[in-house]
Structure 1
Amino acid sequence: MIPLCIPQMSGNEWKYIKDCLDTNWVSSVGSYVDKFENDFARYLESKAAIVTMNGTAALELALRTVGVGEGDEVIVSSFTFISPVNTIKYVGANPVFVDVCRDTWVMDEDKIEELITSKTKAILPVHIYGNPVNMDKIMDIARKYKLFVIEDATESLGAIYKGKKSGAIGDIGCFSFNGNKLITTGAGGMLVTNDKDLAKRAKYLSTQTKTVLENGAFYHEEIGYNFRMPNVLAAMGCAQLEKVEEYVKVKLEHSTEYNNLLKSVKGINIPTQKDDTINVNWLYSILVEEDFPLTRDELINKLKENGIQSRPFFMPIHNMPPYIDCKHGDMSVTNSIGVKGINLPSSVELNKENIKKICKVIKEC
């Protein structure tokens, strides 16, 4: 079986984790936690980074840090993994769904303003499958209406928008290090920001709002959260981050190979990349159009029969029971691509022969 997306371990993971075990620094305090935060901020060219237990925790922490709460509204894509939408509800706010662009599948910035009300507190763009959103327009809208922008960059580590790394453009950016992401800590996440006050607030909230008094006692002025990553996972993150540029290079080579082999296949739409962006293609994804001989699900089954794992696109969240009554605009594009999309194998360890086999099966259909 050619897997969809599995982690790559080719650096100092064992060495750094063994160091944690040998020194007993395995909990949420330790040198690797600080190193991972500092190294990640440096890579993103961001002023601060705060580790979390997972990407969902980073998103919830971001919302709480900027003060999103009961009764507020947050504009977000419906075409996304459900985490960012769930975190909006975790803090008592309400998601308002906006449609996506037909070519890039990311939030359609031209449909945002019509959804803004007096209750709108933030915009939460998702760089879906590694393709950056048009952040200039979103930041302009946010400044016009005095809104916060929280980037869900959990799938777009290494992607570039007009010379800036995704996640480091809005007020806050959030990342995931789940086992299928570009770099992994098994479970883990990161919040980044260029605002020192937001960074201080995020770290305070993520560590149980703990103040250590002169006599060593813990004092808490408000409710806090235990979102911190253990040192042993941060050690793994440090090792993975050392290889991130190599992994990005491989991802781009893979997407080029896929594009070259599939661009002329009738009924298959390949990913779009704008001139001023670099789509890192965390999951290389295609649309199966009506003029392809098989349906999307039939193609998934055909790939499976040939030992190739694939996955349908995320289902539109505005059509799911917990969110079916939430506000939204015209969702025609989201509804359309939701039944057409397939994620193809995208592991770093994938090779050209694997990609040729995958594309050969698609062409033979």
Structure 2
Amino acid sequence: MGRVMSVQHENFFCSHDVVTSLLKAGVPANSKWGALILYMRSLSEYDFLSAEQKRQMQALVMGVVRDGDFSEKKFKEIVRSKEQILYQPWNKKLEETFRETVVLIEHVRSQNLLRTKEVRDLRETTISTVTDQNALEDIVLGIKAAFEKVLTHMEQDTRDLVEMSYTDSLTKLSNRRAFDRYYQTTLVEYMVTGNPMSLMFLDIDHFKDFNDSYGHRIGDQALVTVASKLTGYAQKYGTVPNRSFFPARFGGEEFVVVLPGVGLGEAAEDAENLRTIIEDYNFIIRDHNGQVLQKGIKITVSIGVAELKKDWADEAGARLLDEADKAMYRAKGRGRNRVCTMNER
């Protein structure tokens, strides 16, 4: 049986006779286990899963075959694990959206309190102006000035809300909503002109372990640190014509950078520069009073880089993201803290 299992580990995902392979691996015939395993195996063929999700799903299937535990309890456990893998990105997006919504609600609440006070002041100003002033022109000017003050503040509130809805509340980078808007607009332009356009995917290495070791508050500080390095690097492009550097928080510990006007080679150089800048930074952990608790901690990132191809046509947007995502996971698979491009296999 041991030899059969080792053969299965090599050929399970490429065999032409999957059902026979399942039986040889000990999966009970005519059971729901076979259907579940075949379903999980088929998911690796679909593009809606990231490279990491496919890797996790494959590891889950291979774990089932290796352990040989086909009990009802194990079945329920595997189904839960499968759902966690599938819904992982959506859960991250929901968490980010919830946090942004809470911030927006708090902002609206505080602004409403301010405006309520200003409306009360407006009422008092109107009454006192009418009561104290004799000239009609002075009364009108006084009331008009008071109304304009309130209107100006309300217009600023609207601008602030729009800005906040496109800003990640933690890192102050553009959020996923802002990225989607910018990405789609820029993509159309560069598909038409044929000018180069590249994209980076960055992921903080071992971020879960970082959170587990130091706590989520320190994990948030790590996210802010990486975001600040992206913002600082963006200044390099501030005066370069026909080129841009648009960083955004994609979700969780992932960041994305759109590079209009930049080809793959230069984008890879920028990615390597960023990787080095982040690695060289000495991350310091402080307590709530600002006292240093620990210093010299290193944060590293894995980066994938891809360039837009005109022959991708209608699939260009999804394809560019997917190629950068795959390249990033190749970087992780090759040891992390490195840059991989779409051309590397």
TM-score greater than 0.5 by the shorter chain: no
Whichever structure has more strand as a proportion of its residues is 1
More helix by share: 2
The one of the two structures with greater contact order (alpha-carbon pairs below 8 A, sep at least 6) is: 1
| TM-score bin, normalised by smaller chain | under 0.3
With structure 1 as the length reference, what TM-score do the two structures score?
Answer: 0.27
Could you tell me the TM-score, scaled by structure 2's length?
0.28
**Rg larger in 1 or in 2?**
2
